[in-house]
Amino acid sequence: MVIAGNWKMFKGPAETDRFLDELDLPSGVEAVLCPPFPSLATATGRGIPVFAQNVHWAAEGAFTGEVSAGMLLELGVEGALVGHSERRQHFGETDDTVRRRCEHALEAGLRVIACVGETESEREAGETADVLRRQVAAIPRHEALVIAYEPVWAIGTGKTATSEIAQEAHALIKELHDTRVLYGGSVKPENAAELLGQPAVDGALVGGASLDPGSFAAICRAALS
């Protein structure tokens, strides 16, 4: 089981340091933290793998506001999220840029959590399977890559997918791509065991509930039950 905490644009270095001082993780779970860029150097070297929230496809160049895999590796960062729905919705990320970011990160030696998921209107229009097929087709096959299924309507909304919806989407993704699939979207200590108990759910990508060390650890414990 992989339990990854996506902090989004929360926690600078001082708060990151406090979080790590308080964090008490159970053994037997592969926990990962994804802090914002300025907090990465504080988070590495503390006994928990650290991933960035994005990575560029070039090794270096005139790409203001971007960072490369080599820069992350130099900090001790082990991997990166790619294609999170907030990147797709607000920052113009496309299936093509997701593919390029994944390929560069993997070639450079980073691990990748590549994110897919349908919006509410796509689900209502019956397009979920088509959207997932299109998004998954852009994701390279690699042993250091896992996919996170995050239905956009369940992110930060408190609306969790039912375990049946999660299971169905995960099963489809696994037919298309032979990899582990994490579920993301309003995962909390209260619903984690049920979601993580589904046969095709191999872990969780947790946003809001990963910001508190107690609730992040509780989700990690639920993964063991």
- CB 146, min distance to ligand PGA, A: 13
With CB under 6 A as the contact rule, the residue among 39, 208, 216, 220 that binds ligand PGA is: 208
Residue 168 falls in the annotated catalytic set:
no
Segment holding 145, helix H or strand E:
strand 145-149
Q: Judged by CB under 6 A, does residue 189 bind ligand PGA?
A: no
With CB under 6 A as the contact rule, the residue among 35, 83, 151, 185 that binds ligand PGA is: 185
Interaction residues for ligand PGA, span 116-155 (CB under 6 A): 150, 155
Separation CA 180–CA 64 (nearest Å): 33
Residue 150 falls in the annotated catalytic set:
yes
With CB under 6 A as the contact rule, the residue among 49, 79, 83, 184 that binds ligand PGA is: 184
- CB 102, min distance to ligand PGA, A: 17
Beta bridge partners of 5: 33, 206
Q: Judged by CB under 6 A, does residue 186 bind ligand PGA?
A: yes
How big is the chain by its Cα radius of gyration, in Å?
Answer: 16
Give CA separation, 36 vs 50, 119, 201, in Å. 10, 25, 26
- CB 62, min distance to ligand PGA, A: 30
Q: What 3-state class would DSSP assign to 9?
A: coil
How many CA atoms lie less than 13 Å away from 199 in the CB half-sphere?
A: 4
Catalytic residue among 84, 104, 170, 177: 84
User: Which residue's Cβ has the minimum distance to ligand PGA?
Assistant: 207
Q: Which stretch binds ligand PGA (CB under 6 A): 21-29, 94-102, 124-132, 178-186?
A: 178-186
Q: Judged by CB under 6 A, does residue 201 bind ligand PGA?
A: no
Say if residues 185 and 117 touch (Cβ distance below 8 Å). yes
Q: Judged by CB under 6 A, does residue 109 bind ligand PGA?
A: no
Burial (CB < 10 A; 0-12, 13-18, 19+), residue 17, is: middle
- CB 191, min distance to ligand PGA, A: 10
Burial (CB < 10 A; 0-12, 13-18, 19+), residue 96, is: exposed
Burial (CB < 10 A; 0-12, 13-18, 19+), residue 220, is: buried
- CB 110, min distance to ligand PGA, A: 18
Instruction: Please list the active-site residues.
Output: 84, 150
Q: Which residues bind ligand PGA (CB under 6 A)?
A: 6, 150, 155-156, 184-187, 205-209
